[in-house]
Structure 1
Amino acid sequence: MAADDRTETSSQVSSHGDHGSVDSGFASPNSSTVSLPRISLTQPHLQHLNKQLESQHPMDILRFCRIFFPNLYQSTAFGLTGLVTVDMLSKLDAEAGTPQPIDLIFLDTLYHFQETYDLVERVKARYNTRVHVFKPADVDTVAEFEKMYGEKLYEMSSELYDWIAKVEPLQRAYSELNVAAVLTGRRRTQGGQRGDIKVIEVDEERGVVKINPLANWSFAQVKAYVDEHKVPYNALLDQGYKSVGDWHSTVPVGEGEDERAGRWKGQEKTECGIHNKQSRYAQWLEKNAAQQAQQQVQAA
């Protein structure tokens, strides 16, 4: 997708270098924790903000965030919650009379459903918003990805796949776009690790503030907003998908299951890594190295 279409890819705005090593086990060409402008929030201040915002309508939370946070972006995979946020931001622009667009960050893992790619284009056309697309480093197609990392890396090493396809590209986005704060589509009713998220959180490792404007909304509230305001959404929703990720790790949700039950079905994971601590990948590397060492000892 070209910049003229209000979409920028990572190859258009960056150059790739060698990955160094850091204590957390993660690294990127430009460390976000070093280059980003820091927003200093003490714990008492953060608690105060969350207490005040907890009962506010998402529109009011977004009004506040647009004023309070510099270098504000929205990270989205174009799920329902993110789409509601895009629509609300567009209404705030119309309300203000002077647009203050919030650019979008989209992680193109190369394995999204075609319906997701189609939705990206529909959102761009509807809202005239700029989408910054970040792909796995140094590849543009599935063929290039699989030539570099082998076929079905997502099955062979799910943690490594998450790092290459999602975590590193997002850290690169934070760094290259100078992101200080980011809007997410996480909600408590999505279950898993999201059950106790706050409206505003500080990601100390990545050096950004994460804002969850619809944290206390239910799926029913989100869907009702989409229907009322005719927000474009992923066609897969009408086929039983309530949360859509990569095609290889997403299935429809069964009756009575959690909203994100269709993600990584049968696996002991509920997140792709972008909302986990960076040390998770370092822990996986350490565990993998220990297993290999044990196998070598047994073989000897």
Structure 2
Amino acid sequence: MAEGPFATRAELAEVADRLESASPEAILAWALEAYGPGICLACGFGAEDMVLLDMVAGIRPGVDVFYLDTGLLFDETYRLIQRVAETYPVRIIRVEPVVSLEEQTAEYGPELWSRDPDRCCALRKVEPLQRFLQGYRAWITGLRRQQSPTRAGIRPVEWDRRFGLVKVNPLFRWTRDEVWGYIRERGVPYNPLHDRGYPSIGCWPCTTAVAPGEDERAGRWRGHQKTECGLHGARGG
């Protein structure tokens, strides 16, 4: 699949080099211009996603913003989604798994997430995302290098070989303080769980609060050798 306006991966890498010192707004403006209607914003309605949503809405109203509704999101997240839909001039798209929670329980037993979180994420997140992204040439994410060791090498723009399109990471250099500085300065709405010790918010059965000094994603899948749901595991190449 062609990488949007770029003929080769090397050209995309050159763009990443040029954008290494660019602001998030400049990276977004470039991406929205380069990919037009072929780009979308992935939104889990965490702090980083809300910053990007606020920026994108100001640059190009009407952009596609999608979220993966696993059926297991926190009530606070669902309420924030409704507020965003009423506040921002963007197109909110709900993406659901093919398999319902009832069907998942019937096939795999109750609470699959507690026994095999990789399988649960594959069913409720990875497959729906792969299906949805087939209609786009690029997607925007809220990944930051500081979030975890597995994200330390991300670029402002890179080829996502897992899903076969370009991934844009405008906040790649930002710190957590910069994210929250933007939210407070602009009055951006955010998930109240952040105020209760949840720096990273996913599905309620697999997300806990984080203690001071812990990694930002330490509250995801506690008790399992797992730090990613599978959406951002394969980069480059």
TM-score for the superposition, normalised by structure 1: 0.73
- Partner residue in 1 for 2:27: 61
- Partner residue in 2 for 1:128: 89
| 8 A contact 2:39–2:136 mirrored in 1 | yes
Q: How big is each residue's C-alpha offset from its partner over 1:52-108, in whole Å with a ceiling of 9 and x where there is no partner?
A: 111111011111111112400011111111110010112224xxxxx4x22111111
The 2-side partners of 1:129 and 1:144 are apart by: 32
Distance 1:128 1:240, change over 3 A: same
1:285-296 matches, within 5 Å, as: none
The 2-side partners of 1:114 and 1:59 are apart by: 30
Bigger Cα Rg: 1
| 8 A contact 2:99–2:124 mirrored in 1 | no
Q: How big is each residue's C-alpha offset from its partner over 1:191-250, in whole Å with a ceiling of 9 and x where there is no partner?
A: 131011011110134211000000000011001101111111001011111110111111
SS in 1 for 2:113: helix
* Residues 1:200 and 2:157 are matched in the alignment: yes
- Partner residue in 2 for 1:295: none
- Partner residue in 2 for 1:270: 227
The 1-side partners of 2:65 and 2:174 are apart by: 21
The 2-side partners of 1:37 and 1:171 are apart by: 17
* Residues 1:168 and 2:135 are matched in the alignment: no
The 2-side partners of 1:41 and 1:200 are apart by: 15
How far off its partner does 1:253 sit? 1.1
- Partner residue in 1 for 2:138: 181
- Partner residue in 1 for 2:179: 222
Higher mean C-alpha deviation, range 254-263 or range 142-151:
142-151
Q: Give structure 1 stretches of 5+ with no counterpart.
A: 1-35, 94-98, 279-300
What is the root-mean-square deviation in Å for CA atoms of aligned residues? 1.8
1:25-104 matches, within 5 Å, as: 38-39=3-4, 40-70=6-36, 71-93=38-60, 99=61, 101-104=62-65
| 8 A contact 1:136–1:168 mirrored in 2 | yes
Q: How big is each residue's C-alpha offset from its partner over 1:156-211, in whole Å with a ceiling of 9 and x where there is no partner?
A: 22221111011000011112xx1110000110010131011011110134211000
Distance 1:61 1:259, change over 3 A: same
The 1-side partners of 2:197 and 2:24 are apart by: 26
SS in 2 for 1:69: helix
The 2-side partners of 1:146 and 1:128 are apart by: 37
- Partner residue in 1 for 2:105: 146
The 2-side partners of 1:148 and 1:134 are apart by: 22
The 1-side partners of 2:79 and 2:200 are apart by: 16
* Residues 1:115 and 2:76 are matched in the alignment: yes
Q: Give structure 2 stretches of 5+ with no counterpart.
A: none
| Count of residues in Structure 1 that have an aligned counterpart in Structure 2 | 233
| 8 A contact 1:105–1:173 mirrored in 2 | no
Distance 1:193 1:41, change over 3 A: farther
- Percent identity, aligned pairs only, is 38
The 2-side partners of 1:51 and 1:45 are apart by: 10
The 2-side partners of 1:38 and 1:52 are apart by: 17
The 2-side partners of 1:200 and 1:119 are apart by: 28
The 2-side partners of 1:120 and 1:147 are apart by: 29
- Partner residue in 1 for 2:189: 232
Distance 1:148 1:122, change over 3 A: farther
Q: How big is each residue's C-alpha offset from its partner over 1:232-280, in whole Å with a ceiling of 9 and x where there is no partner?
A: 10010111111101111111111111211111123211100111249xx
